[in-house]
Chains A and B, each alone.
Chain A
Amino acid sequence: MKNNKAFSLKRWLNKESSAGVVFTLPFSVGFLLFMIVPMGISLYYSFCDYDILSPPVFQGVKNYVKMFTDDPTFYKSLKVTFYFALVSVPLRLIFALLVAMILQKTTKATGFYRAAYYLPSIIGGSVAVSILWKRMFASDGIVNTLLGFIGISTSFAWLGNKHTAIWTLIILAVWQFGSSMLIFLSSLKQIPTSLYEAANVDGANKFRQFFNITLPLLTPTIFFNLVMQMINGFLAFTQCFIITQGKPMNSTLFYTVYMYQQSFEFYNTGYGAALAWVMLLIIGLMTLFLFATKKFWVYDGGF
């Protein structure tokens, strides 16, 4: 009897529908335990007048109404964030893929090269980066010195101009393409060499191999990177926070930095929470859109 029970438990565990539940159990539990409650509380705060120091007071949709009807900075930061994300994300991905293709070739120096290209991502958002970046793009900085070498003598203040400052942040974001590159690299390695061997036999050149084998087989990874980087792009915080703080004249004010200011500098924490939930909605819609396009361009199926 006992044996029988153990046997049926084992069988149950190995049924596809229950195995799936078991495998994903850590996440289900973790989500319920660590995410759902904080998310719920923050959603509640978004309907409250809350300044952290005193208890939240429910006030309905006032925060949301204010956001859309009486807050130009909300629109401004939204615009800046869209611009930043829509420019930096594709650039970053193209760069990452290109470099991954180049570094796929194994020579003695490959390990070193990969480390070099990945290093910027390791430094991340430290104070050193912020100081360096400001120095590089300063009116008497290295960028202008280099321009001087190629005959363009200038003391242009890249960070002090409301049209160019955002580009210094975009360049910083693109410069830290390492994580996408690494993902591309490891999935490039997942493509069976037999496919290329076969293509060689058929006489296909490198160019055609790239477009007929590599790219299609890479589309799931491209899709993954696109979704992740898009989310990251819209939630970008560090670049603005450590370098420009939105200056000059809010021309580089990221949405999340504005949210942070409202929450922790002005102590309009309820309003900050509302800002965050609107962002979640925007990102959610964008992601939904990407997933809807998936079937048109993402290769699915094994190799």
Chain B
Amino acid sequence: MGRTRDVSKILTSNTSILSLASASSTYQTKAAAGLTLLTPTSIVATGGSATSSISSTGTVSFTSASAISLNDVFSTTYDNYKLLFVGTTSLENTINLRMRVSGADNSTSNYYFQRTLSKNGNDVQGGEALATTSWAGFNTNTTNTIIEVELFSPFLATATTFLGRYEKVETLATVHETGTLSGIHNVASSFTGVTYTVGGGTITGTISVYGYNK
């Protein structure tokens, strides 16, 4: 009886004990299946007047950044991820993706990718880039750009691969471009983050990273 009373006293007086109710309001729930929106441990915005923030659900918002980095968003919990970008660039340009670990970009010449794109329904182009320092080729504009990337095995100590596509629409009737990309970082390294960067001008938008439940 006395022991039960002691335990009861511990539970009622120690408010730092994690309960089912406090856990559900404090931590993100791992969905049994499907996608889970992830929160990076921290974000780094580079640029003269860049501002950035992380929403309570994990989506990253930023304005006028030369580069936006998400730290510690890939982990052993998930093998594959979906990355969604919605935004614009200050100049018509190209967004480049780089893998990241320990708070630093991997900018070695180990990024390989190819791209096909079509403009306005009839101008089709294709090309590839070998041993470059990022996955480039996500063309952007100042009005409306969306980028979807499926990232495979970034955290696993194996080569990281991706399938991606983008769309930029200036005026539906005049400029409409869709591109499909795929590529590999051909070193068996474990990455925990990613950087979106641009060669000229700045990026404004949001990035959401989802983990595919195993």
Tell me, yes or no, whether A binds B.
no
Report which A residues bind B (CB closer than 8 A). Answer: none
